[in-house]
Amino acid sequence: MSKQKEFLDEQLERYSRHIILSQVGIKGQAKIAEGKILIAGAGGLGAPAAMYLAAAGVGVLGIVDGDLVELSNLQRQIIHFTPDINKPKVISAKEKIEMINPDVKVVTYKERLFANNIMGIIKDYDFIIDGTDNFPAKFLINDASVMAGKPFSHGGILKFDGQTMTYTPGNACYRCVFKEPPPKNAVPSCSQAGVLGAIAGMLGTIQAAEALKYLIGGGELLINRLLIFNAFNMNFRTVNLKRNPACPVCGNNPSIKKLRDYEQPVCDIKKS
């Protein structure tokens, strides 16, 4: 940052609760305002993440989602309202973000992520939030982020369970923990097994916090750590991870050098 951003009086008031934090301050808020975050999926995880990042004043929020709002989404995808049913999720999300904070520039991508478009989408962003609900997208986001040197937050939910980790170049990636997608039908989808709506909010806001800490360059990220929780019993635990030198994508001699699209649209969570 060559020149610190100057805030208007109204912005100083809007972000005052950040600015009075010694760990953030004016400099940290300026970094947030200059930050560019991409949210993959405007659903259960992406919705709360987008709302808190918008409220925080992130300069640019990219939203990727090819779906329309459905009635069954409203139980957990809090950025969408009843009148938004049948509206593209990216449009619904953009409208709410702009109402929360007109300082934020919203870039929408009404499409799904595939091997042939992801690199072009992620290239301009500082940090990526994986709010997708299927293994093909999660492995694709991981592989593309590693290849492009982009940090990202992984998140997965199912029933009462949630898990999340953060990747930055040189540390453990998603494939260091989960080498490849599970066999077909090995894991039920959210529509099959269900999910407590509030779980999405719990995890999505953790992902937003990780993105903000990355932008300000403070705190401890969930690097080389997998945070796992069960909200039914309200138990949280952290599993320490290590970068796998034999990882097929981030290892010393990666075997995956080209992005590919996987099949099997199922929801992601590691039961523990």
User: Domain residues of the chain, as ranges?
Assistant: 35-240
Condensed to tens digits (0 to 9), the pLDDT of residues 100-145 reads: 999 999 999 999 999 999 999 999 999 999 999 999 999 999 999 9
Residue 160's Cβ-side half-sphere holds a number of Cα atoms within 13 Å equal to 8
When pLDDT is cut at 50, 70 and 90, the band that residue 270 belongs to is: very low
When pLDDT is cut at 50, 70 and 90, the band that residue 188 belongs to is: low
The helix or strand, by DSSP H or E, that contains position 199, with its residue range, turns out to be helix 197-216
On the question of pLDDT at 264 being above 60, the answer is no
CATH fit for domain 35-240, picks 3.20.20.120, 3.90.1640.30, 3.40.50.720, 3.30.70.2190: 3.40.50.720
* Model pTM score: 0.93
DSSP codes of every residue in 37-63 = EEEE-SSTTHHHHHHHHHHHT-SEEEE
Helices (H) and strands (E) in the chain, counts: 10, 8
What would you report as the CA-atom Rg of the chain, rounded to the nearest whole angstrom? 18
Question: How high is the pLDDT of residue 183?
Answer: 73
Q: What is the dihedral of CA 207, 210, 211, 217, to 10 degrees?
A: 180
Q: Which amino acid is at 134?
A: N
